[in-house]
């Protein structure tokens, strides 16, 4: 165990004060923000919009990738719900209806959207037609890697891994590894961790 020097003590106190100040500032600016206990912000966290944002206990928002974790709700009816013990590193989440993340998840600088933002057909855009959002659901113990995108209406099963730059347009099974654009299942974690005789 490292010796507690005056410099280490100073840094620890400074980090605690900064963390409490950041949480207080977020809470004061976002009327519909619900925070659990033990939340740590070592990077940048931005929360924007009139919707409800719920962050569970012991979540961490780091800045190792150099980006800002951004949580956006587009209307008072929209919501982002994050379970306990999740870690974020520059993640971008946009909710027009609902984005739900389970517990113990790891999310790098990935993108989660529950809407297309606008319709593809310019004629419909000029007529003022709005896209229909569909909720996004991320299970427990999910790992979403850097630059991956999870699109509207997708459900990612417990323990799944979404690979680097994967574009997920369909549901991901439990404990599956998906990569590519569009994302496809390439392996199951049960196969990796099964006894050698059970692997075919």
The pLDDT score that the predictor gives to residue 65 is 66
Beta strands in the chain (DSSP E): 33-35, 40-41, 44-48, 52-55, 60-62, 68-73, 79-82, 87-89, 92-95, 98-101, 106-107, 111-113, 136-138, 143-144, 149-150, 155-156, 161-162, 167-168, 176-179, 184-188
Task: Identify the helix (H) or strand (E) that includes residue 20.
Answer: helix 6-29
Q: Annotated catalytic, 118? A: yes
pLDDT bucket at 79, cuts 50 / 70 / 90: very high
Q: What's the rounded Cα separation, in Å, for the pair 161 and 168?
A: 11
Domains and CATH numbers, the chain: 6-188 (2.160.10.10)
Residue 27 has pLDDT above 90, yes or no: no
Out of 117, 118, 141, 193, pick the active-site residue: 118
Tens of pLDDT, residue by residue over 144-185, are 999 999 999 999 999 999 999 999 999 999 999 999 999 999
CA 57 to chain centre: 15
pLDDT of 1 strictly over 60: no
pLDDT at residue number 2: 66
């Amino acid at each position: 165990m490292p010796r507690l020097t005056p410099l280490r003590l100073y840094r620890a106190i400074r980090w605690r004060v900064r963390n409490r100040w950041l949480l207080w500032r977020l809470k004061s600016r976002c009327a519909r923000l619900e925070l659990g206990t033990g939340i740590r912000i070592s990077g940048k966290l931005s929360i924007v919009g009139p919707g409800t944002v719920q962050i569970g206990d012991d979540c961490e928002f780091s800045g190792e990738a150099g980006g800002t974790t951004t949580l956006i709700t587009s209307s008072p009816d929209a919501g982002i719900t994050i379970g306990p013990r999740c870690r974020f590193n520059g993640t971008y989440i946009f909710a027009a209806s609902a984005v739900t993340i389970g517990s113990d998840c790891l999310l790098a600088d990935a993108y989660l959207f529950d809407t297309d933002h606008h319709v593809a057909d310019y004629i419909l855009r000029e007529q003022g037609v709005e896209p229909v959002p569909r909720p996004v659901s991320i299970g427990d113990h999910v790992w979403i890697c850097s630059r991956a995108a999870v699109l509207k209406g997708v459900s990612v099963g417990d323990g799944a891994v979404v690979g680097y730059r994967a574009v997920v347009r369909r549901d991901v099974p439990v404990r599956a590894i998906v990569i590519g654009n569009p994302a496809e299942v390439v392996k199951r974690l049960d196969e990796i961790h099964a006894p050698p005789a059970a692997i075919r």
